[in-house]
Every structure is written in structure tokens, then in C-alpha cells.
Copies of this chain bind each other. A is one copy, B any other.
Amino acid sequence: MDKLRVALLGATGMVGQRFVKLLENHEMFELSVLAASPSSAGKKYQDAAHWCIEGEVPEKFGEMTVVKADLENVKKEDNVDFVFSALPSDVARIVEAEFAKAGIPVISDASAYRMEEDVPILIPEVNPDHLELVKKQSNRGWRSFIVTNPNCTSNVLILALKPLQENFGIKRVIVSTMQSLSGAGWFGVTSMAILDNILPYIKNEEEKVEREALKIMGEFDGSKIIPAEFKISASCHRVNVLEGHTEAVFVELKSKADPKQVIEAMKNFRGRPQELNLPTAPENPIIVRMEADRPQPRLDRYAGNGMSVVVGRIRSDTVLDNGIKFVLVGHNTIRGAAGNAVLNAELAVREGYL
């Protein structure tokens, strides 16, 4: 198979850099256009991007010239098969529609279209069937479509909840997060704010977590998504950790399950990407650690190349009926952002959408 040619919108930011790294030697996709804001356009990628993730700028991209992230400039550069978007939400709203309208599919990490009725928020292991929803977007007069990613915190949480929903049913979820700095972007948290400290507030984060989970874990009836019916409440906090979100999760199940059963359900969980053996799919979407003091973000964030969620401390909770509590760690800019989008694109190819 020839590789699909793809443009990356928002190539210079932190999530953009993760995309670049994941696409460096991708077997299905050829990253042929790096696009970003007007201030970066015209510069070499290595000069435009303040490279801040491990390793160096991949050699093949360092010398590539960045173009402005809009339809006209991207098309001038290359006749791409689809685009990845890591644009800021306000820009994404305009630019992503432009591409979809013009017949170029958009696999997006931006939040702009997430909650639109005809746009799926996709986690390939969780709700691959929601992909079909994109067909409804033709009603907008678009010749192609947009698929979105969940918020990073939701993403890794939902992965861990999915086998519980499947096996035991979920009634209520309470989650308290300890989120890494990279979730706020390179300039998001100043060092003086976080040294020897915790920030107990992340703007709009709790709302996103509470909203997106029900949509993603909802049912697609062939024409629309019927949200899941459980209740979810979040308290979101920023801690002095570079990468990797940690979440303490309390779940009320519909039917009783002891920790052993939960461990089994999580360990055995596989999804469509594992069935299809997609290139970016981790062998285990969930890795269960049995040590008393795991998961830890610094040690566990790169499990499954950053695509697995690591769960530990699975134990009974006596406050909620059929209660279970556990702690999870997931890589917020890989599984929670660029990696999930790449996996979405891989799924879309195999399912005939790209």
C-alpha cells in the first residue's frame, strides 16, 4: 500500500511535536506538510518549533519549511489525503471546517467540535463504532468529516472505565486528578507557581471530563449517540510532574465485583485496534500493576510507548455500593493527545474512511 500523505496543522506546539515524533517512521502515513501559525510560517521547522520533548527534532523534518495552517497554503504545498490537527480551539473551529468542507478529512486533537452532535469523540479501543457518525456531517454540506480526540484527562480515565462498563456496569464515578505540567503546554504553568506547590484548579477541565465521558461511553444507534447514563464528578489539580496524568478513581458498579474480578476484566481488555493489529495500538490498552506503590507517573508514563494506561491499587470502596477504587497513570500528550489521534487515523483507514 502506498502511504497516505498527511498535513499536520499546529505542528510546532507540544502536541504537534508528539505527532511529528510518532509520524517519523509511520508505516501508513507520510507527513508531507508541517503547518502552524502565521508567525511560524516560512521558517524551518527546527527554528519554528521550540523542541521540548525527549530527543532531538527528527532529521527529516528539521529542515522542512513550515506553512500557514489554512486550506490554501496546505494545498499549495501538497495534495494531502487527510490532516491531523493540533490547533488551538478557536482557530480549529474555522480551519478544520474549511478542510472538511473541501473534502479533506480532519483527525483532530482540538476541542472545538467535540461536543457537536454529528462529530464523534473517538477512543479506538472504546467506541470504534462511533466513527460511523461522521457520515452525518454531510448534512453540513461537507464533502469530508472531522473526528475528534477526547480531552487528555478523559481519555485515560475512559480507557480504564471501559472494561468496568462492559463487565459490571457503571452507576457513578468520582475522580480526583493530579495532572502533569505538559497538559498546560510549554508556557502554561510558570515555575514559581508550582515549585513546592499544587494548583487546585484547571480551567474548564472538570466540565470536559464530566461531559465527554458520557458521550464517548454512550451508544450509537445508527443515527445519533445516546449518552451513557452514569454520573461522573471530577476534581482536577495540577502537580509538579513533567508528563503523565495520575488519577484517583472511585466507581460504583451496577453489579458487585471484587478487586480480583476487576483486575481480570482490565487485564483482559482488548479493543478493535488490538484486533486489527494497528501499528500504534499497544498490546495491552490497560496494564495492571500489583505492587502497592504503583502506578507512578515517572516510572509508568511510557508503558506501551505511552499508549497504555497503567492501573494499580485496585481495591474495594466501602462508601459506594459495589464500590471499587484504583489509581491510574496515562501519558497525557501521547495516549491523551497525539497518539490517540494517530490511532484514530489508523482505525479510519482500516474501516474504509480514509
Of all chain B residues, the one with the shortest Cβ separation from A200 is B327
Q: Which of B187, B193, B250 contacts A235 (CB 8 A)?
A: B250
- The answer to whether A250 touches B233 (Cβ under 8 A) is yes
Name the B residues within 8 Å of A190 (CB-CB).
186-191
Check if A254 is an interface residue, CB within 8 A of chain B.
no
Q: A190-B186, A319-B231, A319-B232 are in contact. Are A237 and B198 (CB under 8 A)?
A: no
Known: A176-B176, A186-B192. A312 touches B250 (CB 8 A): no
Q: Distance (Å) between the CB of A45 and the closest chain B CB?
A: 16
Measured CB to CB, the closest approach of chain B to A286, in angstroms, equals: 16
A246 within 8 A of B: yes
Q: Is A265 an interface residue (CB 8 A)?
A: no
A198 to B247 Cα, complex, angstroms = 11
Bits for A287-305, please: 1 = Cβ < 8 Å to B, else 0: 0000011111111001000
Question: A192–B182 contact, CB under 8 A?
Answer: yes
Say whether A237 contacts B178, CB under 8 Å.
yes
Does A318 touch B at the CB level, under 8 Å?
yes
Shortest distance from the beta carbon of A201 to any chain B beta carbon, whole Å? 4
Q: Are A197 and B233 in contact (CB under 8 A)?
A: no
B198 close to A241 (CB less than 8 A): yes
Query: Bound state CA distance, A316 and B10, in angstroms?
Result: 37
CB contact list, A152-205 vs B, under 8 A: 172-174, 176, 178, 181-182, 186-201, 203
A199 to chain B, nearest CB (A): 6
> Of residues A191, A196, A203, A210, which shows the largest number of chain B Cβ atoms within 10 Å of its Cβ?
A191
8 A-B pairs (CB sep. < 8 Å): A186-B193, A196-B241, A197-B296, A198-B241, A198-B296, A200-B248, A200-B294, A201-B313
